[in-house]
Amino acid sequence: MPSKKKSAKLLRCPACGMLVRVGEEDFPFCSDRCRKIDLGKWASGVYRISSPVLDPEVLEDLGNLAGGQSKDSNHD
């Protein structure tokens, strides 16, 4: 779908939200400063998406460990 419009495509700077023209020197950032801000965020882990997933089974295991002896251990 090559629709060649004259109007430049604008996207928002991921760092500050300012409109940036596609193809700008610092695209997708509006400026070198924002590029560095964004890099800093990555470095400091702001963008880390993965959160610790605690599924019920794991929690149960942890509970058993914390509880020490379980009743089932002496079923003989």
CB environment 55-67: b (16+ within 10 A), e (fewer): eeeeeeeeeeeee
- Is residue 13 close enough to count as binding Zn ion by CB under 5 A? yes
Burial label for 20, CB within 10 Å (0-12, 13-18, 19+), is buried
CB 14 within 8 A of CB 29: yes
Total residues contacting Zn ion (rule CB under 5 A)?
6
Which part of the chain contacts Zn ion (CB under 5 A), choosing from 3-11, 18-26, 43-51, 59-67? 18-26
Taking the complex as a whole, the smallest distance from the CB of residue 49 to Zn ion amounts, in Å, to 21
Give the nearer residue to Zn ion in terms of CB position, either 12 or 58.
12
Q: Of residues 8, 10, 18, 58, which one binds Zn ion by CB under 5 A? A: 18
